[in-house]
Structure 1
């Protein structure tokens, strides 16, 4: 059973002070070019994550940290995939393509890298799912679907054989809105080239849900002095959303929670979108065993 936000995860391995959420230069235009650059934001992030870890840790480092002997080789293949995807998206967009930013990843060992890779790869899958509705060019949609299916394979492999977690949370993956997914990714971006195009996104104040367990109360806090009391936490899981009111600084985790869900704070008990969300996004993971029983 694990619960975290990407910032909270960083604090577990001692690097939270290096994490900065940049202010998004928001654009209201959601067209195919903007969506490709949105995808490039995640691809550049993952490209930097994998290439940086592989340059930092040797095969012996992976094995000595208790990871499977074959794991580093597979990560080399994933890293090569990321380079290929970045190249394809960049060439498609052309001169206005989103360039790589500066990043700060809080891993300190191969195993902490694989935990972080599991989180970020899952967020990227959720980002592609959420953005699919806006794509108008059918060729772009087919390409995005091809990339998405490969990235879901990456995420499942990292979660299951490498980290010994669950490869899925249920029958459906969870889509995240542009702002929600970007809020999670942006926590690892410390700065970007001034020439980069603006994106149709903005970030939320961070949300933390501590020590979550299905059916149990967990403490809720939000950054920027955002009040949590009396508001609602919306839990996104698959294609379903569950709203639970915050009372006494705590929220009861939905009793049926299994695997990964994403949570935001909202002032509505029935709507969780950019007009109602006041903080987010917390990543809640409740593990279950091979028989589908929560651990």
Structure 2
């Protein structure tokens, strides 16, 4: 059975939803990899791959960097490399000056992030920051969940005869409790989107159930932390899937060292970093400035070629024009209707499809106010 999990798959084939200066085309579910799953050995290879991807989300892997040097991966290796891509999503991301995800703030994996955060900040520190003893205990429970996820993924890889990803060294910048909590909320949100993006690659019901059970746990963590931060815990009716390369792009700049014997076969790459800034709260119709220090040469030439911002939604990317600001490395874009909560935006040279070949930079994360213009901050 041949399955194509590209962004422009058949579930929205021919379906175009027009908005003011915005168009939804195609979809954003899963990876552009074409995978062959006709035999049980292929299914085992797929499971191994997604397990690695999930595991790395909870503890980073040297394999990402090494794979960037590989020019070709055969179909077997491509199939072999995908719950390694779900194991990657659980590990780590750039952390923002809230509400923006800035590449140079913090990068960590969820498991180690919670362990180190709870070691650095005592229960008294949280109480001094107006969080009670019960909240600290809940954070400890979340931390134990993340450790359990790592142990589960490790065991699953070992059952397949594959080595587990060893913990890497990461750059941290968590000066206070508030930054710790904002970072935790964003990590959990990216985890939800990453697991969701990988779900379409899993053909085995048993494997899909196992991955789904982690996804729902991550979603509860995210909703709880958002409510503690007085952000709406469920700002939109559908969670947003993101691809392996998009997850890796947000993580790539924050590795500091890697165990030399980590697995080396994950087929992922990092796109140029994208940053977002705004002068006030962001809602539908707001202007956000996107900037990057470099661009993806495959997708962009400094010759007047128009660029677009692709705002990722569950139904597919919503494209809006990116208006250059004069320096050729920053653009003003508008937040379209239907984008709320923790949102992802990519700079692209195409306005009818979003593939690896059309990405110019990004993604970056923007927190957008709720539906009907309602502020995300709870009373």
Alignment TM-score, normalising by the size of structure 2: 0.66
Question: How far apart are the structure 2 equivalents of 1:187 and 1:75?
Answer: 27
Pick aligned residue for 1:25 from 64, 67, 85? 67
Map of 1:40 onto structure 2? 87
- The offset of 1:74, in angstroms, is 0.7
Q: How far did 1:101 drift?
A: 1.2
Structure number with greater CO (CA < 8 Å, separation at least 6) is 1
The aligned runs of 1:120-269 (5 Å cut-off) are 120-160=187-227, 162-198=228-264, 199-211=266-278, 212-225=282-295, 230-248=306-324, 249-269=331-351
**Bigger CA radius of gyration:** 2
Unaligned stretches of 5+ residues in structure 2: 1-63, 92-108, 325-330
**Cα distance per residue 1:130-174 (max 9 Å; x no partner):** 1112223332211101111111111111111x1111212311100
1:61 Cα deviation (Å)? 0.5
Counterpart residue number, 1:98: 165
Deviation at 1:225, TM superposition (A): 4.9
- What displacement does 1:203 show? 0.7
1:24 Cα shift? 5.3
Q: By how many angstroms is 1:78 displaced?
A: 0.9
Q: What is the Cα-based RMSD across aligned positions, in Å?
A: 2.3
Structure 1: how far apart are the matches of 2:84 and 2:163?
9
Contact 2:83/2:198 (<8 A) preserved: no
Partner of 2:367: 285
1:35-74 paired onto structure 2 within 5 Å: 35-44=82-91, 45-74=109-138
Tell me how far apart the structure 2 counterparts of residues 134 and 117 of structure 1 sit (CA, whole Å): 27
Q: Please, which runs of 5 or more residues in structure 1 have no aligned partner?
A: 1-21
Counterpart of 1:117 in 2: which secondary structure?
A: helix
8 Å contact kept, 1:259–1:285: yes
Match of 1:16 in 2: none
- Kept in 2, the 8 Å contact 1:218–1:253? The answer is yes
Q: Structure 1 residue 255: deviation in Å? A: 4.2
> C-alpha distance in 2, partners of 1:285/1:79?
24
Number of residue equivalences: 271
Once residues 288 and 224 of structure 1 are traced to their aligned partners in structure 2, the CA distance between those partners, rounded to angstroms, is 32
Given that 2:283 and 2:373 are in contact with CA atoms closer than 8 Å, whether structure 1 keeps it comes out as no
TM-score (norm 1): 0.84
User: Contact conserved, 2:285 with 2:334, CA < 8 A, in 1?
Assistant: yes
Q: Any conservation in 1 of the 2:236–2:370 contact (CA below 8 Å)?
A: no
